[in-house]
């Protein structure tokens, strides 16, 4: 049990007061019930640990889907001053630009229901997934470097999707500042044959149905309607991103020792943003982020092709349109209003298992989202569902423009496997109305619905707290797991 003392701020927020070497307080978005669950693991202490990092601004934040990570909690958000603050690979996570995208169709879920089995089988066949999955493409290093520089645009240029998709992708599917020369040979090697693969663990591709609309105007503006069939894709930067993170944590552990920076957890290893090491990490991280966007763009392209072939319909008849693509493991330089006057300051915002949630009218949003606010995609676990939310000005004021990213784990993977022993998970899911295809049996056991927090409760907190608002809820129909 964590013995941290918490102060209640309001119905949705709790404060971890400054103590020990904390430079700022911690603020946690949670209900009382969720907080009790969080108290069982180390994540509350991790919120306090993040507050020890040099140059942290205002507070160390945690979203309601927070759970125990290593170094930073998952669901953690922290912003740093570029002049005197740090950047931390552990504050981004190993799977750099892990994220998800929602692809809507022009079809009603009822129309595709009789073909659901064929569809998920086709996706299972055509989309490489599972432990150590490799794709159909092996890139030459020079070509891979182009992927790292161009991101999703590289995929579009090579025939995977259209330029219209880029506009519906966070940052247009490409972070500036990517320098492939800062990516190690090992990371490049690991990335060569994994582009266009889903991966394993919590990554998935799911056919869903829009079950409920909460905000009719926003849903309509985004192109969502009740009963519509859609596809959610959740994946990241695969081995390349992991290697980038791993390389830089090792470098920064040494660096921090040399600088005499005393951190409560070595996994918080960091470098000053303005230092060479800090700049190099950011340049390499941008490369991994771009790789992930190209990856999701390709996975989406093949999904469209599978639908066309299986349903024998033209792209026009199918009308498969990218609603949006978000990243939820990233560090970015963003203009954030601070203080009572709300003067904007450039900050390095770390989101580790958290999603950007910019409000209507924000200049970083393309024209089509200026009125709605940025779409926020919250992938659920395979049994329950996903949400589409929209960003708000309160998020910009309170959480550096951030909100939750998913349900968040409640059980460890080992516990989940234990509690699913002797059960037919696939059959249970079918009884709940979800067809499941999976490469690994263990994955299904680790990902059972009860291993996750209640996504409705997580979303109700961010909605109630006003850091994003509910637009639509989707229910899974068929799921492809790694």
Options 15, 58, 115, 190; binder of another protein; rule CB under 8 A:
190
Nearer to another protein (CB atom), residue 124 or residue 225: 124
Nearer to another protein (CB atom), residue 242 or residue 328: 242
Partners of 29 in the β-ladder? 13
Cα angle value 394/224/200 (rounded, 5°): 80
Q: Are 471 and 102 in contact (CB under 8 A)?
A: no
76 binds another protein (CB under 8 A): no
Partners of 350 in the β-ladder? 78, 331
Nearer to another protein (CB atom), residue 269 or residue 474: 269
Nearer to another protein (CB atom), residue 167 or residue 246: 246
How many Å apart are CA 119 and CA 122, to the nearest integer? Answer: 5
Q: Give the shortest CB-130-to-another protein separation in angstroms.
A: 8
Alpha carbons within 13 A on the beta-carbon side of 190: 19
Determine phi and psi for 329, rounding to 5 degrees. Answer: -135, 95
Q: Give the shortest CB-181-to-another protein separation in angstroms.
A: 19
Q: Give the shortest CB-337-to-another protein separation in angstroms.
A: 32
DSSP string, 252-306: HHHHHHHHT---SSGGG--EETTSHHHHHHHHHHHHHHHHHHHHHHHHHHHHHHH
Active site residues: 405
How many Å apart are CA 192 and CA 190, to the nearest integer? Answer: 6
Q: Give the shortest CB-192-to-another protein separation in angstroms.
A: 11
390-419: which residues touch another protein (CB under 8 A)?
409-415
Give the pairing type, strands 375-378 and 386-390.
antiparallel
Query: What's CA 141's distance to the chain center, in Å?
Result: 27
Selected range binding another protein among 65-73, 138-146, 175-183, 390-398, rule: CB under 8 A: 65-73
Number of residues located near another protein, criterion CB under 8 A: 41
Options 35, 116, 397, 442; binder of another protein; rule CB under 8 A:
442
270-299: which residues touch another protein (CB under 8 A)?
none
Q: Give the shortest CB-71-to-another protein separation in angstroms.
A: 6
Q: Are 43 and 64 in contact (CB under 8 A)?
A: no
316-345: which residues touch another protein (CB under 8 A)?
none
267 binds another protein (CB under 8 A): yes
How many Å apart are CA 289 and CA 245, to the nearest integer? Answer: 12
245 binds another protein (CB under 8 A): yes
Nearer to another protein (CB atom), residue 215 or residue 381: 381
Question: Which residue in 290, 295, 296, 93 sits closest to 182, CA to CA?
Answer: 290
226 binds another protein (CB under 8 A): no
**Which residues make up the interface to another protein (CB under 8 A)?**
41, 43, 67-71, 74, 94-95, 131-132, 186, 189-190, 199-201, 239, 242-243, 245-246, 249-250, 253-254, 257, 265-267, 269, 409-415, 440, 442
């Amino acid at each position: 049990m964590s013995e941290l003392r918490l102060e209640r701020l309001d119905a949705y927020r709790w404060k971890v007061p400054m103590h020990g070497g904390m430079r700022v307080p911690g603020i946690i978005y949670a209900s009382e019930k969720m907080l009790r669950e969080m108290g069982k693991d180390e994540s509350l202490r991790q919120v306090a640990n993040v507050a020890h990092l040099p140059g942290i601004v205002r507070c160390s934040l945690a979203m309601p889907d927070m759970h125990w990570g290593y170094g930073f909690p998952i669901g953690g958000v922290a912003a740093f001053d570029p002049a005197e603050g740090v950047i931390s690979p552990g504050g981004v996570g190993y799977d750099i630009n892990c994220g998800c995208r929602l692809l809507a169709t022009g079809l009603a879920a009822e129309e595709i229901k009789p073909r659901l089995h064929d569809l998920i089988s086709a996706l299972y066949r055509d989309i490489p997934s599972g432990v150590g999955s490799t794709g159909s493409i092996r890139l030459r290093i020079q070509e891979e470097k182009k992927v790292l520089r161009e991101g999703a645009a590289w995929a579009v240029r090579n025939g995977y999707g259209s330029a219209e998709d880029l506009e519906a992708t966070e940052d247009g599917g490409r972070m500036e500042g990517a320098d492939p020369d800062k990516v190690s040979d090992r990371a490049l090697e690991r990335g060569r044959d994994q582009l266009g693969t889903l991966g394993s663990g919590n990554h998935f591709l799911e056919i869903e149905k829009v079950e409920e609309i909460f905000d009719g105007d926003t849903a309509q503006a985004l192109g969502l309607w009740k009963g519509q069939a859609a596809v959610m894709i959740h994946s990241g930067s695969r081995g390349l991103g992991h290697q980038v993170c791993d390389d830089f944590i090792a470098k920064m552990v040494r660096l921090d020792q040399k600088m005499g920076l005393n951190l409560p957890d070595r996994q918080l290893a960091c470098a000053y943003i303005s230092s060479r090491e800090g700049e190099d990490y950011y340049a390499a991280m941008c490369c991994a982020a771009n790789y992930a966007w190209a990856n999701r763009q390709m996975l989406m392209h093949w999904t469209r092709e599978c639908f066309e072939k299986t349903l024998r319909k033209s792209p026009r008849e199918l009308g498969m349109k990218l609603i949006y693509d978000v990243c939820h493991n990233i560090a970015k330089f963003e203009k954030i209003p601070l203080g009572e006057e709300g003067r904007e300051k450039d900050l390095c915002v770390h989101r580790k298992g958290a999603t950007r949630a910019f409000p209507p009218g924000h200049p970083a949003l393309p024209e089509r989202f200026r009125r709605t606010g940025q779409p926020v995609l919250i992938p659920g676990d395979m049994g329950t569902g996903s949400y589409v939310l929209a960003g708000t000005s309160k998020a910009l004021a309170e959480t550096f423009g951030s909100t939750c990213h998913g349900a968040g784990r409640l059980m460890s993977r080992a516990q989940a496997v234990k509690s699913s022993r002797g059960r037919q998970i696939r059959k249970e899911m079918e009884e709940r109305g979800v067809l499941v295809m999976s490469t690994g049996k263990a994955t299904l056991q680790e990902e059972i619905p009860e291993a996750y927090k209640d996504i409705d409760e997580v979303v109700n907190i961010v909605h109630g707290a006003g850091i994003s608002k509910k637009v639509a809820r989707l229910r899974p129909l068929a799921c492809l797991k790694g």
